[in-house]
Amino acid sequence: MIKPIIAANWKMHKTVAESVDFSQRLAKECEGLEEREVIIAPPATALYAVSQVLKGSTVQLSAQNMHWEEKGAFTGEISAPMLADMGCQYILIGHSERRTLFGETNETVNKKLQAALKFGIKPIVCVGETLEQRESEATFDIIKKQVKEGLNNISTGDIECVSIAYEPVWAIGTGKTATPELAEEVHRFIREILSSEFGEDAGIGTAIMYGGSVTPQNIGELMDKPNINGALVGGASLDVTSFTGIIRY
């Protein structure tokens, strides 16, 4: 059985001091919590400070983005070995905002995925369609392309370290949430792709999370669906009480 994953993506929010305060409070809230995998993804400026707070806690640390090269002339970028050195256990790859605002492609997603795996960081690969793509009935074509190309040349051994986050772009930060039935349909489709590409064990065992205006009010209904294994939480993860409510759905 897949342990539910609840991940907080803070995006471009919180100073170092705010991040440390939140992490201290969250770590206390999660003491003894073994039935959930709780992850927080602070901004890069706060990663090291937060990693020190989380030592010995049940809360895991994720970065929001990285470059696929180990080092080089890439001003403003951060590499996988740098993130590993700061204590990151996870990395978000291919978030919709990275795709739509910063030109992330399935090819660069795959490069980052390969780099993360090389340095022992677990990738959370984000996939999802825009409103225009959904209305033109292209959702499944888009998802299939993103999953297959994003996970290209990944071994069946490595897929065990990968999680997928389905985040319909039209539901992120809009207050709109895909119905649990709609989300379940896409999650089931992703699982079928994984089974086809990597074998039945991968299809059954890979965690597939939902992201898109997740709140304490709707998390329970989403998690009742058999193919939804967790949540990638944006705005509602910025407040400890709100995020804790989601964790303890």
pLDDT of residue 175: 72
pLDDT of residue 102: 96
pLDDT of residue 247: 98
Give, in order, the Cα–Cα distances in Å from 134 to each of 54, 142, 182, 203, 228.
39, 9, 11, 24, 20
pLDDT of residue 187: 98
Q: Write out pLDDT tens, residues 21-67.
A: 999 999 999 999 999 999 999 999 999 999 999 999 999 999 999 99
Extents of the domains making up the chain: 5-247
pLDDT of residue 220: 97
200 vs 82: CA distance, rounded Å: 34
pLDDT of residue 96: 94
pLDDT of residue 216: 97
pLDDT of residue 135: 86
HEC profile for 83-135? HHHCCCCEEEECCHHHHHHHCCCHHHHHHHHHHHHHCCCEEEEEECCCHHHHH
pLDDT of residue 172: 74
pLDDT of residue 90: 98
pLDDT of residue 176: 72
Q: What is the CATH number of domain 5-247?
A: 3.20.20.70
User: Residues with catalytic annotation?
Assistant: 95, 167
pLDDT of residue 1: 85
Compute mean pLDDT per 10 residues along the chain, 249 residues long, and list them: 96 98 98 96 98 97 98 98 98 96 97 98 96 90 97 94 94 77 97 96 96 94 97 97 97
Torsions phi, psi of 91, nearest 5?
A: -145, 135
12 vs 116: CA distance, rounded Å: 22
pLDDT of residue 202: 95
